[in-house]
Amino acid sequence: MVTIKINDKLLSKNDQLALANHALFDRHGVWCLNLISAPGSGKTTLIERTVERLSDRLKIGALVGDLDTENDSRRIASHGVPVRQIITGGACHLNAKTIGEFLSHFDLEALDVMVIENVGNLVCPTSYYLGEHHRVSLISAPEGDDKPLKYPGAMHTSDALVINKIDLIPYTDFSLERARENALKIGSHLDIMPLSCKTGEGLEAWIEWFESHAREIKSRRESGTSE
Amino acid sequence: MHELSIAENILEIVDRHRQEQNFERLKSVTLRLGLLSGVDEDALCFAFEALTEGGPYDGAALEVEKTFPQARCSCGHCFVVEDILYACPKCGSVIAELTGGDELNIIELEVY
């Protein structure tokens, strides 16, 4: 019997490819955001509202992962955003290799931001780093305020938590305070932004967060200090 | 759900070492899996068994060492979080700063 010591991350191959994606984004001064949520929380709508408000100030591109159909990319493309749909054919998450391959379809030099809309799933995508600068988890009020506790991996690896559909809170038992507490319990570092893509309430804080991070990457590149 | 692709990753790593070291049989693979890794141990073992059945690694065991986050409470107390519904044992606060416990590592192979 022989013991072979490895002591490495299980997904180190994915991580290496993700770091190559990250370097590519940095080289072009593109801020990359990985948006993850359960199906139906409002990822596509959040991207649409964001593009509507920022398209005159930031050039935004999008990569959209789905098990099937091109519906989401069509919705985003209708706002004039360069977008590619990644149909995973059943796979529950995007990986760094696929992202790298699809990035070749974009003129990154012409972009300020690349938003990756991950496959609707709050579990599997958390294990796969794609090379993003920031990761945002999205939940919505009808899903319940204990959602952050049910998906600790997502809270732990995200930089921010957006709570969508707050206009529906009066019709549910959802408590914003409990949701906040449950999220901070796992990720005390999280920026938490409650909003409604429907009414626009709370969207300004999100837009500000989004734009300030995009500008930071851009200015870092302009001053030649990209990592 | 992604435990199947994680199990495929394990076997890719095993294959690579088999090519390098030319072993005949795989006895076990040891993993370190954190409470916050987002990977379900039972589902992973099931996927690993399904993928190895009837192949060169048939019968190999998947040994899992669980790891847990360290919490640092604002009261200064530090403790290990074994359940995400934790509270600080000293002051009762339900929010603390967590570090670690997110490992998804392959530690070693036992082969012969």
Domains by residue range for chain B, with CATH: 3-68+101-111 (3.30.2320.50)
Instruction: Verify whether the Cβ–Cβ distance B108 to A4 is below 8 Å.
Output: yes
Cα A26 to Cα A36, A117, A135, distances in angstroms = 22, 19, 16
Q: What pLDDT, on a 0 to 100 scale, did the predictor assign at position A225?
A: 63
Q: What is the pLDDT of residue A85?
A: 95
The answer to whether B110 contacts A121, with C-beta atoms less than 8 Å apart, is: no
Q: Is B27 on the interface with A (CB under 8 A)?
A: yes
- Predicted structure pTM score: 0.94
Whole-angstrom distance, CA of residue B71 vs CA of residue B99: 7
Tokens representing B4?
């199947």
Q: What is the CA radius of gyration of chain A?
A: 18
Comparing alpha-carbon positions, the chain B residue that sits nearest to A91 is B2
Instruction: Please name every residue paired with B105 in a beta bridge, in sequence order, or none if there are none.
Output: A9, B32
B24, B62, B84, B102, best to mutate vs chain A, most A CBs in 10 Å: B84
Angle at A7 between CA A2 and CA A1, to 5 degrees: 5
Instruction: Report how far residue B3's alpha carbon sits from residue A32's, in angstroms, rounded to the nearest whole number.
Output: 26
A93 interface with B at CB cutoff 8 Å: yes
Question: Residue B1: pLDDT band by 50, 70, 90 thresholds?
Answer: low
Q: Can you name the residues that pair with A3 across neighbouring β-strands?
A: B110
Which among A127, A181, A184 has the least Cβ separation from residue B38?
A: A127
List of domains in chain A: 21-219 (3.40.50.300)
Percent of chain B, pLDDT > 70? 99
Residues of B in contact with A119 (CB under 8 A): none
B106, two tokens: 């392959």
Inter-chain CB proximity A152 and B38 less than 8 Å: yes
- pLDDT number for residue A101: 97
Structure tokens at B47: 């996927």
Check if A9 contacts B (Cβ < 8 Å).
yes
Q: Which of B1, B2, B84 sits opposite A186 (nearest CB)?
A: B84
Of B38, B86, B94, which is closest to A123 when you measure between CB atoms? Answer: B38
Low-confidence stretches of chain A (pLDDT beneath 50): none
For residue range B59-101, list pLDDT tens digits in order.
999 999 999 999 999 999 999 999 999 999 999 999 999 999 9
Chain A residues with CB under 8 Å of B67 CB are none
Q: How far apart are CA A102 and CA A97, in angstroms?
A: 9
pLDDT above 80 (res B5):
yes
Neighbour-count burial of A191, counting CB atoms closer than 10 A to its CB (0-12 exposed, 13-18 middle, 19+ buried): middle
Question: How far apart, in Å, are the Cα atoms of A78 and each of A48, A51, A113, A194?
Answer: 9, 11, 17, 26
Burial readout B60-93 (b: 16 or more C-beta within 10 A, e: otherwise): bebebeebbbebebeeeeebebeebebbbeeeee
Residue B13 CA, distance from chain mean position: 15
Q: Is B25 on the interface with A (CB under 8 A)?
A: no
Contacts of A124 in chain B (CB under 8 A): 1-2, 38
Residue A134 pairs in a beta bridge with: A33
| Residue A227: predicted pLDDT | 52
| For A124, nearest residue in chain B (alpha carbons) | B2
Which residues of chain A have a CB within 8 Å of the CB of B102?
153, 156-157
Question: What are the residues facing B67 on neighbouring strands?
Answer: B34
